């Protein structure tokens, strides 16, 4: 339904049983019903490949299962998926050895889990926190006994307490006053003290710091932003938030260093196991870039499998949720804005990207998005709500549009670099705005099919995802699918 048709229908008076109805409400109802019919139509087309998989739990298809795994659990990157999911999918679909690619590598779970199973692994990651974790984990195989002893001495002797010198770190507007004053002082002392160590130990000590920042701060990661504890003195005009215990710096860093040392030693107990798990990390290649920039430069037909979880179309802004870490990593205000814009469009602050300037050959994937009737029907309706001032953020339309155009280009490039018969696994969530559910899984699968993929399965988690309390309050409860897409290059 085109936007002009919506405006024409708004002029009509509707009668049911002789009662005059509000034209706008009737128009809203008709538009929503039309969208529901379109959703049902596209879902019917994929009904034969949509399969609820009882083996897929939210724990497996998230970071949660990594909490029990040595080294994977060091840093809590909640947007990731588990190492166990890699093994499950590779076994289920008989993935053979070859080059693996993750174009949204995060903290490297797909890279390390694939590498441990004998694959060469390549990743693309734009967010500096992910880059730092992957680089540090690659260095672990080179650690020697002297460095392990030094690591143990760090949590025993606490050298940061023995220095009066400090190293400053960047404070962003969204991280200012994030720590108790004594904690902030100890962070600066710690940053100064680790500079005296060699590269490998310094990297491990730095990752330990990054891994505890949330626990020693007044903040908690909460989807689209950082929530601030009432003790911070910040008044966000909301109900006072109490995050509970704010950990003491010395205790938090000591426990983290002990955990890291224990995990490394555990891996080294069996030298063959250690060699298998870490001896091939030279075959993990990380590209520090946006996948929209890097993918077009990769060699055609070079990868046997692609597995990834892109940012969801859910307004989550990683530059805000990981702002504490980015500030410690030296990302200033200007760099933060550039980083946010270069990421896949998944926040309301993303501006439209000129995709043809990035790659002039993307006319095919861009044209396929233009042909997505359901997507544009949803965008037209959201535009109509925007003009009626019934959309809670005007950037939502631009974000959704940008997300699908950019993801179409990503899928196009992934098809190009994947070898014939190769699998593309993608973990993603459906979303909902203004009461309208957007079936991301079927829309992206439809685009993938047009680009030459065979849609083998859309594996659905038995436990669906609930929508936000705000959405439920205004539009009622609607469970959203969380899926793993399984596409194969024909």
Contact 413, 364 (CB under 8 A): no
Q: Report the C-alpha gap between 454 and 457 in whole angstroms.
A: 9
The structural domains of the chain, with segments of one domain joined by +, span 33-489
Q: Given this model, what pLDDT does residue 93 score? A: 97
Instruction: Give backbone dihedrals phi and psi of 174, rounded to 5 degrees, phi first.
Output: -85, 0
Q: Which of 160, 451, 138, 474 is nearest to 284 (CA)?
A: 138
> Where does residue 448 fall: left (phi above 0), alpha (psi -120 to 50 degrees), or beta otherwise?
alpha
Q: Which residues contact 245 (CB under 8 A, 6 or more apart)?
A: none
Q: Which residues contact 456 (CB under 8 A, 6 or more apart)?
A: 49, 93, 423, 486, 487, 488
Q: Which residues of 293-307 are buried (b: 16+ CB within 10 A; e: fewer)?
A: ebbbebeeeebbbbb
Question: pTM of this prediction?
Answer: 0.90
Instruction: Give backbone dihedrals phi and psi of 180, rounded to 5 degrees, phi first.
Output: -55, 150
- Using only the alpha carbons of the chain, give its radius of gyration: 24
List the structure tokens of 413: 């490039």
Q: Report the C-alpha gap between 247 and 218 in whole angstroms.
A: 10
Q: Report the C-alpha gap between 419 and 488 in whole angstroms.
A: 10
Q: 């990981």: which residue's tokens?
A: 322
pLDDT tens for each residue of the chain, 490 residues long: 444 444 443 333 333 333 344 556 666 778 899 999 999 999 999 999 999 999 999 888 887 777 777 788 899 887 788 999 999 999 999 998 899 999 999 999 999 999 988 899 999 999 999 999 999 999 988 889 999 999 999 999 999 999 999 999 999 999 999 999 999 999 999 999 999 999 999 999 999 999 999 999 999 998 778 899 999 988 666 688 999 999 999 999 999 999 999 999 887 775 444 444 444 566 899 999 999 999 999 999 999 999 999 999 999 999 999 999 999 999 999 999 999 999 999 999 999 999 988 898 999 999 999 999 999 999 999 999 999 999 999 999 999 999 999 999 999 999 999 999 999 999 999 999 999 999 999 999 999 999 999 999 999 999 765 444 444 445 445 789 999 999 999 9
List the structure tokens of 188: 């600066």
Q: Report the C-alpha gap between 406 and 403 in whole angstroms.
A: 5
In this structure, which CATH number among 3.40.50.150, 3.40.190.10, 3.40.50.261, 3.40.109.10 belongs to the domain 33-489?
A: 3.40.50.150
Q: What angle do CA 75, 461, 65 make, to 5 degrees?
A: 25
Q: Given this model, what pLDDT does residue 21 score? A: 44
């Amino acid at each position: 339904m085109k936007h002009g048709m919506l405006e024409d229908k708004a002029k009509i008076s509707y009668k049911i049983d002789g009662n005059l109805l509000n034209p706008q409400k009737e128009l809203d109802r008709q538009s929503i019903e039309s969208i529901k019919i379109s959703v049902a139509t596209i879902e019917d087309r994929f009904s034969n490949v949509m399969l609820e998989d009882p083996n897929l739990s939210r724990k497996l298809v998230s970071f949660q299962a990594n909490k029990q795994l040595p080294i994977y659990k060091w840093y809590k990157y909640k947007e990731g998926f588990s190492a166990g999911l890699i093994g499950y999918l590779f076994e289920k679909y008989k993935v053979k050895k070859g080059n693996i690619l993750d174009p949204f590598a995060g903290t490297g779970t797909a890279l390390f889990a694939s590498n441990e199973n004998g694959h060469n692994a390549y990743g693309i990651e734009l967010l500096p926190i992910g880059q730092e974790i992957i680089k540090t984990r690659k260095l672990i195989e080179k650690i020697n006994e002297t460095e392990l002893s030094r690591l143990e001495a760090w949590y025993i002797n606490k050298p940061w307490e023995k220095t009066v010198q400090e190293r400053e770190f960047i404070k962003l507007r969204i991280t200012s006053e994030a720590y108790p004053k004594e904690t902030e002082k100890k962070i600066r002392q710690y940053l100064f003290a680790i500079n005296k160590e060699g590269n490998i130990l310094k990297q491990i000590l730095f990752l330990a710091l990054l891994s505890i920042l949330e626990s020693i701060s007044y903040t908690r990661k909460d989807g689209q932003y950082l929530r601030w504890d009432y003790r911070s003195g910040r008044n966000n005009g909301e109900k006072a938030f109490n995050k509970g215990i704010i950990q003491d710096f010395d205790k938090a860093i000591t426990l983290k260093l002990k955990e890291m040392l224990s995990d490394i030693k555990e891996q080294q107990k069996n030298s063959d196991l250690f060699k298998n798990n870490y001896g091939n990390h030279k075959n993990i290649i990380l590209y520090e870039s946006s996948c929209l920039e890097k993918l077009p430069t990769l060699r055609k037909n070079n990868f046997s499998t692609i597995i990834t979880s892109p940012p969801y179309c859910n307004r989550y802004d990683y530059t805000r949720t990981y702002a504490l870490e980015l500030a410690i990593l030296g990302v200033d205000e200007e760099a933060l804005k550039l980083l946010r814009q270069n990421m896949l469009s998944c926040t309301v602050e993303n501006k439209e990207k000129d995709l043809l300037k990035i790659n002039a050959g993307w006319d095919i994937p861009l044209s396929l998005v233009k042909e997505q009737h359901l997507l544009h029907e949803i965008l037209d309706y959201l535009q109509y709500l925007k003009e009626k001032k019934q959309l809670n953020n005007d950037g939502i339309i631009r974000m959704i549009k940008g997300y699908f155009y950019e993801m179409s280009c990503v899928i196009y490039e992934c098809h190009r670099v994947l070898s014939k018969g190769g699998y593309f696994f993608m973990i993603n969530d459906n979303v909902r705005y203004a009461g309208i559910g957007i079936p991301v899984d079927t829309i992206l699968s439809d685009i993938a099919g047009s680009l030459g993929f065979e849609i083998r399965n859309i594996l659905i988690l038995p436990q669906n995802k609930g929508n936000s309390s705000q959405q439920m309050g205004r539009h009622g409860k609607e469970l959203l699918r969380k899926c793993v897409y399984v596409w194969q290059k024909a």
